[in-house]
Amino acid sequence: MEREPGDKRTGIFTSGIVSTTQGWKIALYFTGRQHAGENIADVLKQLRVELGPAIQMCDALSWNAPKLPGGVELLVAHCLAHGRRIVEVAQNFPFECRHVLERLGEVYRNDAAARHAGLTPEERLRFHQEHSQPIMDALHEWLEAQFAERKTEPNSSLGQAIRYLLRHWQPLTLFLRQAGAPLDNNICTAARGSANVMPTAGLCRVGLRYGVDLEGSLHFVAQFVGIITSSPGTRAGRLAVGSGQG
């Protein structure tokens, strides 16, 4: 594998890419020294340009961002479930965290209602624009007011969580502007989480590295296939990306 000058990375990385479109789900699995963004860039090289831009759903890690081949467009959405991790500071800021979680919960209920109604991606977009846009606009104003009105210390744990939401607001709310954009990356996160419980210390042992790597890889693939075959609902034009390091 060719590396950029100065690339001194070590370890083995696992990446899962799920494509969902027109009722089909395609799962790709990669293990090696490439980051998720590099793997998805390799996939996008095969994309037919006339199909239009794909939607990449991932978290905000920089190594999830691919260097796009010439002529390829990509719409990036960030996982709204990561915004719900504000619950991690709920013990110290119960009122503020409850407010954020309740607003995001309303958006998830709207998405569930759209799914149960069998709305098309375009109909779902209009539904969210009508019912979820006011919720998210109000939440954005509330988040900005925490700093503007000096209600929250920016360097506190709550302040850091709020800064994350504000910094990534545009990709977190792509579902309000683009038909087919999902709310979260849970399908990949679930598979990656199961793979992460596999023992990885053996990767550092001479003679055992490939055996342990294969064991973890097979577990990851098996879990991935289970999620792909059992997960309800599809979203058009979606590339969901999950990654982890061994």
Residue pLDDT, tens place only, 192-245: 554 443 333 322 222 222 333 344 444 445 555 554 454 443 333 455 655 554
Helix-then-strand count for the chain, H and E? 9, 5
- Among 42, 77, 74, CA closest to 60: 77
Question: Whole-prediction pTM value?
Answer: 0.74
Pairing of strands 74-78, 238-245: unpaired
Taking the C-alpha atoms of residue 116 and residue 71, their distance in angstroms, rounded to an integer, is: 37
Does 115 have pLDDT greater than 50?
Answer: yes
- Give the Cβ contact number of residue 151 at 10 Å: 12
Taking the C-alpha atoms of residue 22 and residue 24, their distance in angstroms, rounded to an integer, is: 6
Question: Crossing angle of helices 94-116/133-148, nearest 10°?
Answer: 160
Average pLDDT over residues 34-59: 83
Taking the C-alpha atoms of residue 225 and residue 22, their distance in angstroms, rounded to an integer, is: 19
- Residue 134 contacts by C-beta under 8 Å, 6 or more apart in sequence? none
Average pLDDT over residues 161-183: 94
